[in-house]
Structure 1
């Protein structure tokens, strides 16, 4: 008797795509540039992969589909956010799946290379893929032995691989060589295997720009320049050359995730404070963070306040510019969501949130306290003085105003003295530039102007040109 015909490659790919569309829900954090995943196991249970401590979106999807999270898998000890696995274990009794080599200090199922986890029909096979971290795992999803997809965390990502310098400069090359071997191992999976990375565009864990957040093994063989490297040395050279700066808080969260974040009972409170309480907190070493849009901050703000507009990237700049030990009080505008402030802070381990100014700036002024204003103008209104670009190195290299001074925003607090007097501060649109101006003002600078726009606007208004740094754009 003949064996039944084997399905063709196209049919296999179609079946996998259909399964993914029906069962897998990516949950994208646009600010951190990461994706978590919720996998519907088909029996009312779900698997969560690399879930953040901010579980609002995951819970909403699970609730809508009638799912209970039964498994919470972490591919590695994250540096850019606190894991939600401990919270899921508390909330739903989820079994935490994680590397034995991570030596986590909370209950979890220790996993090592080659282990398999029965999800009730579907299975996860553990692949050790060190490089981004020492204990990094990838999770290969199997259906009756067929490879459906692989959760690659910070190993193979779309057209790149995650950075290898988070454990120190002295280990960067060693881990890059481990990353080479891990990517080569993943590349041996069938071409139709879906690739579900955690780090994507916008992540400071070294993802290139681009809209795609998932891919396939076959596609990466065609487009990933690291997989195209002819040998290990070339791979290491390319990967290390792509490494830019990253937020200061990354140095703290790996250990915090190893210990396990504290369990939370709902959204942590953000008490209302009157103007007198805010003034007293400032006198006692606290910091005001003004989350209003840049234009509102410019029109009037508490002297010494740090401007970090509440948007997707709020957590990144909070964690980059302030220590987690400083008591924080927030100034918000009408209609801004204070719960969003709280969750963005808590997902990166910032818990010393003293409160928010009740009544906003109106209450501050009514109490007789002074305010500071900052010039925020369009390109045709900016003076011809020195121009400070605070964008990331790759952005600056891709195109900048001729003669511009360049200091990344993340470095500016420690180098405020390098900024000349009467400077025009600029970024891509104005938000980071306003943050930079608030840092400069706090350091004693006066007469700072912020460009409401980007380098192309300035160049056109001032009759100058944009320069690019050779080899700088990635």
Structure 2
């Protein structure tokens, strides 16, 4: 078959910063690469073209989402293609370096590219002997390479050296070969912000700063220096993907819960997550609830801040998409979803139950108080309010005692800051103010300038 550009359909998860791919094989069948357990976009794309997914390939044991390959095997009869070295315990075709799979006119060749993980494969798509593109997963990504510390600090350098060799191997492909990475901008697997999601071998050879490193030691130093923190749930998903997520035979839902059920859940050690916009949470919320507004990054913060094994109830607005809550939770292995508060905060207040409120102010309204910056370290060092206390949101629960009383809690816009305030309120801080704005806005309103660099 001839391969046209529109035979490849990228499916971008903006929240996790990842891309899955659907390849139209031209005969009513398709190949899916690195599909998430949230298969809504992939199913819609396949349905539009009348495609059945015949092959589901995973480049590695994903740490940031549960794979949809097992589900595609169940629903479509897809053959699951993955590294034999991954020791997956469900039926799949285990591939080693150089193994090829006939897709019916096109060929998929496995290339061992360890570094991001031990068993990482890239998949070279060939038309005859002609390379069309390579699915690089967490190996070569746009202007970077994926992180190598997911297996622990003791192996970070070893895997960084493996990543160096893997990238050098990939750059021996023809310059015009398309590069289709899984990790992209917004991914905690270390894609630089603002990057394009696909590229070519030639472009990366010219523009990727890691490939410009003059030697292996420099490459390793640069790669490791760029590693920041990553969500806590990453540490357990690879093992779940090795076993294979449970097959879903029906779409999971969020049952309606009355106020007494929600109160009992909290009393028994469960959690209430308020997914309403930050301003709505600020006005009135269930005491002890955690604010995680429903947006693209919802799964990231759910998985970073709450344990997966505890039951969770949600407070929602009437017009919010309940299926979005469910699928963002399920794609990272959060399945103990007790339900949603029926009637929302209106029902809670009408029942005469106590509520809490949080001050949410614009920069010009912010009091003269200690400034707590909860952004990621890279954001903080790029520009922060002088004298700010810096504690990343993901680590905040373990450092609540370090937060000064009466602090102004801030991030880049206000959503993460409200989440941080809810974490702190649950730990006993009751005198916080949340900034509805950016550090630059705050500095301008208070006659100051941002400063750069790490905290001293």
- Please indicate, yes or no, whether the TM-score normalized by the shorter chain is above 0.5: yes
Match of 1:126 in 2: 110
Residue 258 of structure 1: SS of its match in structure 2? helix
**Unpaired segments ≥5 residues, structure 1:** 1-14
Residue 20 of structure 2: SS of its match in structure 1? strand
Residues 54-113 of structure 1: CA deviation (Å, up to 9, x unaligned): 000000000001100000000000000000000000000000000000000100001000
Whole-angstrom CA distance in 2 between matches of 1:396 and 1:450 = 17
Match of 2:6 in 1: 22
Whole-angstrom CA distance in 2 between matches of 1:307 and 1:22 = 40
Alignment of 1:445-464 (within 5 A): 445-464=429-448
Residues 171-218 of structure 1: CA deviation (Å, up to 9, x unaligned): 000000000000000000000000000000000001111240000000
Residues 372-425 of structure 1: CA deviation (Å, up to 9, x unaligned): 000001000000100000000000011111111100000101101100000000
Residue 466 of structure 1: SS of its match in structure 2? coil
Match of 1:69 in 2: 53
CA shift, 1:447, in A, is 1.3
Residue 205 of structure 2: SS of its match in structure 1? helix
Question: Is 2:44 the partner of 1:60?
Answer: yes
Alignment of 1:237-252 (within 5 A): 237-252=221-236
Whole-angstrom CA distance in 2 between matches of 1:448 and 1:287 = 21
How many residues align? The count is: 455
Whole-angstrom CA distance in 1 between matches of 2:378 and 2:151 = 22
Alignment of 1:215-294 (within 5 A): 215-294=199-278
Residue 36 of structure 2: SS of its match in structure 1? coil
Whole-angstrom CA distance in 2 between matches of 1:267 and 1:406 = 41
Residues 427-454 of structure 1: CA deviation (Å, up to 9, x unaligned): 0000000000001100000111000000
Match of 1:111 in 2: 95
Question: Is 2:292 the partner of 1:308?
Answer: yes
Residue 361 of structure 1: SS of its match in structure 2? helix
- The match for 2:174 among 165, 190, 196 is 190
Whole-angstrom CA distance in 1 between matches of 2:195 and 2:134 = 20
Distance 1:250 1:470, change over 3 A: closer
Residues 293-346 of structure 1: CA deviation (Å, up to 9, x unaligned): 000000000000000000000000000001101110000012001110000000
Alignment of 1:81-230 (within 5 A): 81-230=65-214
Whole-angstrom CA distance in 1 between matches of 2:263 and 2:280 = 20
Match of 1:334 in 2: 318
CA shift, 1:21, in A, is 2.3
Stretch deviating more after TM superposition (268-277 or 461-470): 461-470
Match of 1:31 in 2: 15
CA shift, 1:464, in A, is 1.0
Residues 27-53 of structure 1: CA deviation (Å, up to 9, x unaligned): 000000000000000000000000000
Extract structure 1 runs of 4+ deviating beyond 3 A: none
Residue 440 of structure 1: SS of its match in structure 2? helix
CA shift, 1:19, in A, is 4.0
Distance 1:184 1:21, change over 3 A: same
Match of 1:359 in 2: 343
Whole-angstrom CA distance in 2 between matches of 1:470 and 1:52 = 36
Residue 400 of structure 1: SS of its match in structure 2? coil
Contact 1:221 1:227 (8 Å CA) reproduced: yes
- The match for 2:385 among 401, 405, 411 is 401
Whole-angstrom CA distance in 2 between matches of 1:342 and 1:390 = 27
CA shift, 1:22, in A, is 1.9
Question: Is 2:374 the partner of 1:390?
Answer: yes
Distance 1:20 1:323, change over 3 A: farther
Residues 203-242 of structure 1: CA deviation (Å, up to 9, x unaligned): 0001111240000000000000111111100000000001
Distance 1:409 1:470, change over 3 A: closer
Residue 162 of structure 2: SS of its match in structure 1? helix
Question: Is 2:7 the partner of 1:44?
Answer: no
CA shift, 1:269, in A, is 1.9
Match of 2:412 in 1: 428
CA shift, 1:465, in A, is 1.1
Contact 1:194 1:216 (8 Å CA) reproduced: yes
Contact 1:100 1:110 (8 Å CA) reproduced: yes
